[in-house]
Amino acid sequence: MSVTRLNTDGSQRAFREAQEVLVEGVSSPSRGTVNFGEYPIFLVRGEGAYVEDVDQNRYVDLMMAYGALLLGHSHPAVVQAIHRASAEGTLFAAASPVESRVAHLIQSRVKAAERVRFANTGTEATMAALRLARGLTGRSRFIKFEGHYHGWYDDYLVSAHPHPYSDLGLVSDPIAIPESSGLPPSALQQAVLVPWNDLDRLEDALKRYRHEISCVITEPVMANMGVIPPEPGYLRALEKLCHQYGVLFILDETVTGFRLAPGGAAERYGLMPDLLTYGKGLGAGLPVAAIAGKREYMDGLRWGGVLHYGTQNASHIGMSVAEANLSALKPGVYEVLENMGERLENGLTTLFEAHGVSGWVQRVGGMLQVFFGNQAPIRDYRDFCRYASRARFSQFALAMIHHGVYLSPSYSLHSVLSAQHGAAEIDRVLEVVDYVLGLQEGGHQ
């Protein structure tokens, strides 16, 4: 199959129209020109591992709604669940049997999920988890790792995006960098910043602030600085330190939940967190999230304790889709994600060598990111800020998009596979990579 540059004039026109009514022409800044350049691609449908735009161009999708679609686009089980549930009623805002069934499915996969409370987004879930940890301990501060993203709640918006390396401060005393206007001064004082993958620095912070710290919250894999895996044994040791110093251990599985194993990263790395948060992959494209954890801690959300409300919590459609989604995520799905992830990683590595490109791939399961340069591996936020090339990755990613492979053009995000990505899709991606690298060698886009 030949590789040609796609005509995306329809997306350009759609973007002009969208700018008349939407802020920046989009509903989330990451979808706009900050990442996509002149204009984003406007998508209208998806099926399996593919998406189609307003110009009827078809793309192999490596974004998969930022990882929400483990089963791929328009999976029959998900579509049927939506049809059935919408006919029964879109929202009751009342107790419903399906939410208990979904909670049982989560419990069957995650040992630490003795109790579950549903929410709508990963941000809501992590907000509730932090409030719960504060309520249980009576302490307001928490340890957050540099470069980890836990949603757009005020207290989390500290050193969560890439910045010039010279702005980060000393590793022994990181500078808290606000990620937004409108944050109250207190937000910068709540998070105790610690470099990730560094147990000595973590223990130093726990010793220094042990009477102020309510919890340690961590992504199990850094997924908003590309893909940065934990060092061997790091997460188990982190969990042990939390117990040793009497603070709660929160594992934020918004990105990794049900993706890296049937029980998510908790299963893959052998963890028993006090609290866990879920988002993206739980709802298969619908706004479904959850807080889960040990009963002794989750019971803090009972009436009269830590407040957590939500009219949309456990919506009938959302729960019905989550039930269908989790039921369809059989062990074979994870074999596909691992095998196809390995096939893509190996193919990319081979092509980089063939084209003389200084670059490498970092991967965990079916999630991966390409880095350009000579400083492999990237093992923490400071490495990323110092060595990852935004310009080089953006140039590569935008060229891939305009030749039929849809992926996030943000160098701090990553690509993801679904159960619908087979050898044909991976080989097509590699064919486009080969073509794009050849173009860029010749000074073309």
CA 155 to mean position of chain CA atoms: 19
Distances (CA, A) of 376 to 349, 352, 360, 382: 13, 14, 7, 13
207 is catalytic: no
54 within 8 A of 14, measured Cβ to Cβ: yes
9 is catalytic: no
24 within 8 A of 32, measured Cβ to Cβ: yes
What is the side-by-side strand order in the sheet with 141-145?
115-119, 289-293, 275-278, 248-253, 213-218, 141-145, 191-194
Q: What are the backbone dihedrals phi and psi of residue 217, each rounded to the nearest 5 degrees, phi first?
A: -115, 135
Give the amino acid at 266.
Answer: A
Name the catalytic one among 39, 50, 59, 149.
Answer: 149
72 within 8 A of 51, measured Cβ to Cβ: no
148 within 8 A of 222, measured Cβ to Cβ: yes
CA-based nearest residue to 106, from 251, 282, 243: 282
User: What is the three-class DSSP state of 174?
Assistant: strand
**Rounded CA separation 445/442 (Å):** 9
109 within 8 A of 85, measured Cβ to Cβ: no
Name the catalytic one among 155, 234, 280, 406.
Answer: 280
280 is catalytic: yes
**Rounded CA separation 65/59 (Å):** 14
Give the amino acid at 263.
Answer: G
Name the catalytic one among 61, 155, 198, 252.
Answer: 252
The neighbour count for residue 201, using CB atoms within 10 Å, is 18
Dig out the tokens for 434 from the structure.
Answer: 């080969």
As annotated, the active-site residues are 149, 252, 280
